[in-house]
Each structure stands twice: as C-alpha cells, then as structure tokens.
Amino acid sequence: MKERLEQLKAEALRQIEASDALEKLNEVRVSFLGKKGELTGVLKGMKDVAPEERPKVGQLVNDTREQIEKVLEEAIRKMEKAAREAQMRAEVIDVTLPAKKSTVGHRHPNTIAMEEVERIFVGMGYEVVEGPEIETDYYNFEALNIPADHPAKDEQDTFYIGGDFLLRTQTSGTQVHEMEKGKVPIRMLAPGRVFRSDEVDATHSPSFHQIEGLVIDKHITFADLKGTLAEFAKELFGEETKVKFRPHHFNFTEPSAEMDVSCFKCGGSGCRFCKGSGWIEILGCGMVHPNVLRMSKIDPEEYTGFAFGIGLERIALLKYEIDDMRLLYENDVRFLKQF
Ligand code: DAH
C-alpha cells in the first residue's frame, strides 16, 4: 500500500512538472485527487487492510494527498503569475509618448453674433422664442398686411412647397404667432432661419438668418423704439456708436424706418468699410401697423408696439470684418478657427 502511494505521488509530481498549461494541471488534479481519481481508488481498497493498520494507512493517504495538493497549488500559482506578467508585458503603455492633440471646436461666427444679440435683449427683459420655418401664406404675408396681389411678395422670392405652405421669407410671421397667444404685454425676440430663392453671391444666400423683435404694450411710442435700438447698437458696437433712422416702407409697420449705425471702423469719417458714407445700415423697424394688431386680435386703440428685423449674417460680417457671406456657409475649419 505504501509503495503504491509512493508510486502515485511520484507519477503525480512528474505529470505536474511536465504540465505547460493551466488546463493540464487541472487534468492532473482530476485524475489524482478527483472523486474518481487514483487516491480515491486507494481509499476504496481500505476494506482489504487489517483494521489496526487502517489509521496508519489513512494518515498516509492524507499525507500523500496533501503533498500532491501543495505542489499542484504552487505550480498553478507560478503559471498564473507568468501568464499575468506576459499579459502586462503585451499591454504595456508608454506613458512618455506625447498625447494626441485633441481638437477643440469653435462656435460659428453666426452663433456668436446671435448669442450676443440675444444676450443684449434678454438683458432688457425680452423673451427668446422660436417660430416655424414652414409657414402658410397667411403668417408670412397676409397677417403682416401684405395682401395677395401686393408687389412686396415678388420682392421676396418665395419658395412655395405645395398647398398653402411656403418656406418663410422673413421671421416677421413669428410676431403674429406670438400675438395670437393672446397674452400682452409682449417683449419678444425671435431668431431663426429664413429662405429666399436668391442666387449665391458675396451678399446673398438662399438661406440666411434674421432676428425679429416685437414689443406690444400700452403707450409704446416711437421714442421707445429709438431708445431701445440705440441702446442695442451701443452694446453691440461700442459706447461711441451713434444711430440714425431713415424713413422706409414696410407693410407691417407705420411709420417704418431703417436704422444705420455710425461706422465703428472709422468713427463716421468715411472709410472703405462704410463705403465712404460714415454710416452702416443694420436693421429695419417701425411701429406695428394697426391692421396687423387688429388681425391678431389686439385692439390698436388700447395697445401699440414696435417691431424690428435684424439680418444676422450682416451683423456677423460687420463684427468680424468678413467681406464675403459665402465664407459663413462653407464651414472651412481654417476660417472658423479664427473666431
Ligand atoms: N421682415 C423684414 C425683411 O425681411 C425686416 C423687418 C423690417 C422686420 C421691419 C421688422 C420690421 O419687424 O419692423 O426685410
């Protein structure tokens, strides 16, 4: 019995020694120590051993089991350690390698200008709202006092998209949506994209942006309009900026005007930037026409208001001294990086 155990042990150690993978060591464990393994087989032979010998033999079997287990554990630990080390060597990271430069994005000059204009008007208590880009003829023209046969409709070459629908040619329709909500007073700023079937050139694009403003309250006068827009111009272009209102015509305002700012480049003396005039036109404005108020269920005897429309691209081009509108749409990273 003792010899048989010695033999088993020697054979187990030899097999452990010869194992070159964890699976092999596992096989050795099963074949010697497992339920159906060699040692268990020896224990089953105990019934043939004389009763007084049994404790001694039992002890011997246990010793053998323990010795094999110990060697086996050791071998497993070694193999696992070697595997871990090999993995670490394979996955080594060179922390001295210079990191890849991460490229940081830039806000588009249009976005910067838009946020700047919003900031100024929000500071004056205006609420920023958004109107739909697809409008009906009613919102884009009729409710703005531009009747069906009016030539103003031809001036803004409209993209019609079937039925009564069109792509808005101006953000002014948002005035109507806002008034229809039936809540006065109104202090609204509505930035957004507009569309006209224009050819692309340095100052035109079939899609551009406007920022619409509308104020409705009791006792609003042209003086409020002038004060508000003069303050806006100073905030946007600097404290020195002067403004000038020229009479103009828009169907939805009466009286109407265009506002010029003194050239922030030459201060008004005349330069290439302002084409020698000292002034730069930046927006259209006027007192909301009583017809417009009436159509949106606001009583013109009780309420008055003013409105204005700013061309966003124009502001961005002026502010950043960009001389071609196409640059704003090409999204060349080398261009955008500068802002
Ligand atoms: N909607 C006009 C346009 O596209 C701009 C405009 C002018 C808007 C005067 C206004 C305004 O609100 O009062 O040319």
Residue 3 in tokens: 């010899």
> 283 alpha carbon to ligand 1 midpoint, in Å?
8
Determine whether the shortest distance from the Cβ of 311 to ligand 1 is under 6 A.
no
Cβ neighbours of residue 332 under 8 Å, at least 6 residues apart? none
- What pLDDT sits at residue 243? 97
Residue 19's alpha-carbon distances to 11, 13, 15, 27, 67, in angstroms, are 12, 10, 6, 9, 17
Per-residue pLDDT of 215-248, as tens digits, reads: 999 999 999 999 999 999 999 999 999 999 999 9
Closest-CA residue, ligand 1 atom 6, reads 309
Q: Which atom of ligand 1 is nearest to the CA of 210?
A: 4
Taking the centre of ligand 1 as the mean of its atom positions, its distance from the CA of residue 114, in whole angstroms, is 17
Quick check: CB of 309 below 6 Å from ligand 1? yes
Per-residue model confidence (pLDDT) at position 155: 67
The residue ranges of the chain whose pLDDT is under 70 are 155
**Ligand 1 atom closest to 169 (CA):** 4
- Res 329: pLDDT: 92
Q: What is the pLDDT of residues 53-76, one digit of tens each?
A: 888 888 888 888 888 889 889 989
Percent of the chain with pLDDT over 90: 57
- Helix, strand or coil, per DSSP, at residue 137: helix
Distance from Cα 183 to the centre of ligand 1, integer Å: 22
Q: Which two tokens stand for residue 259?
A: 């506002």
- Is residue 289 within 8 A of residue 251, CB to CB? The reply is yes
- Output the CA torsion 239→272→247→203 (10° steps): -110
Cβ-Cβ contacts under 8 Å for 216 (sequence gap 6 or more): 179, 184, 185, 186, 288, 293, 298, 303, 304, 305
Of the CA atoms within 13 Å of residue 257, those in its CB half-sphere come to 16
Is residue 170 in contact with ligand 1, taking CB distance under 6 Å? yes
Whether 286 is in the pocket of ligand 1, judged by its Cβ within 6 Å, is yes
- pTM higher than the cut 0.75: no
For residue 151, list its beta bridge partners: none
What is Dmax (Cα atoms) for the chain? 127
Ligand 1 pocket test, candidate residues 250, 251, 253, 292, most atoms within 8 A of CB: 250
Angle between helices 22-33 and 54-90 (to 10 degrees): 170
Cα–Cα distance, 132 to 115 (Å, whole number): 19
